[in-house]
Structure 1
């Protein structure tokens, strides 16, 4: 049995995080038995330290930074943190399950990520303040406090308004146009490398699911987003729906 450590929300579906969705997609795609343990934001660092889960990065001040997702695999008695490391671990330890890094795609998938990651930068100022409002009170306080420090101003003032909103939104739509151009090269397949998803499909899917979950499916934001690029992004999530299950 694998335990997936995830961050809860106050929403009915609970799961929301783009990073933890990457790991969840992988577990569901591989049909590996697992359960979810929900960890609120202020409990992540003490939880990881208590279990010996390694930090995933280092803060600017040199202190270790702990984040989710993380998993515990009772078969190997191992803890793994970071969605990419989790995906690589699951491919290695369970080779008879569908691979998210099929042979020969590792370099191309990493190159895709390098080009892809900056595309969603324009949406950050919209989605981060909105995310805070969807969390449980104890996590909302922590998230708001830490992100306020990161942005250098109250989180409520981060959301673009007026001309800035128009500029940032236009840049985001242009980024989606770029991504749409890449996807358009595959005229006969559902996913990035073919008709079976790979790791980077779960990266893109997790990001889109984050936006849809936080802004809500009936919001003006998502209603507009689902129509751009010929409805590609709503259809993309539909194609991934089989593995968008919370266990």
Structure 2
């Protein structure tokens, strides 16, 4: 049974996908949230083939399903010895941290977002690649509804372009790469890379897709966050993807991305470094 956390709290266990550099988007969202809340934790790095075993051992079921209906086991997972809780979804981890440690760190992860967030129109001109992680299903509990909607659309927008990043993931072993290849139905790691004209078109598609999101960051001109000087979980959602791009994109493309839309995403990346320590 969950209990109130002690003060000071014991160190929590945070499970991330083993790769160098760390570049998995959803663990990045949770790492940023953990550092935002300034709660003590340590990271355990889990090879891809062992993720299902680790989740089951922690009593955390799969939170998504593959297209064939089978369970999709992925990370992050946060195990909190202070309350006996184990949480296995990045959005749920942020909601858990806010509910359990409301006054810790930099404050509220879920302050009200500007009305412009509700008015954003999202267009997708790219299909999801076959190996892309399944999107988080719509939430049924109503918690932080405007953030859940934002998270869903941001994930859809970036996931359509994850082909730019996948072949550059620094997975820890051939066994981990083979596991991803099996899910993609690909024969070799090179088959995952988007090249040539197709890559140029996908880069341009990503630039266009991020235009509306960039305008949301202009709502408060004091920046660099959506709410001006105050970071929120919405910034961490986008920041998780920006951190993934930093860890995967070739340097020339990375410099291009952070220059788009007046440098919006470069400023966000720089501002989030205060929450980006890998522990």
Normalising TM by the smaller chain, what interval?
0.7 to 0.9
- Which 5+ residue runs of structure 2 have no aligned equivalent? 1-10, 115-143
Distance 1:21 1:120, change over 3 A: same
TM-score, normalised on structure 2? 0.78
1:71-220 to 2 correspondence within 5 Å?
A: 71-97=78-104, 98-102=107-111, 106-131=144-169, 134-137=170-173, 138-146=175-183, 148-149=184-185, 155-215=189-249, 219-220=251-252
- Which 5+ residue runs of structure 1 have no aligned equivalent? none
Give the one of 64, 70, 74 matched to 2:77: 70
Contact 1:122 1:169 in 2 (8 A): no
- Which residue number in structure 1 is paired with residue 42 of structure 2? 35
- Aligned-residue Cα RMSD (Å) equals 2.1
TM-score, normalised on structure 1? 0.87
Aligned pairs, number: 237
Contact 2:181 2:187 in 1 (8 A): no
In structure 1, distance between residues paired with 2:267 and 2:236: 14
Contact 2:168 2:249 in 1 (8 A): yes
Shift of 1:22: 0.8
Shift of 1:227: 2.0
- Could you report, residue by residue, the CA deviation over 1:204-228 in whole angstroms, capped at 9, with x for unpaired residues? 0010010111125xx1111222222
Shift of 1:115: 3.7
Q: Judging by fraction of residues, say which structure has more helix.
A: 1
- Which residue number in structure 2 is paired with residue 230 of structure 1? 262
In structure 1, distance between residues paired with 2:162 and 2:224: 27
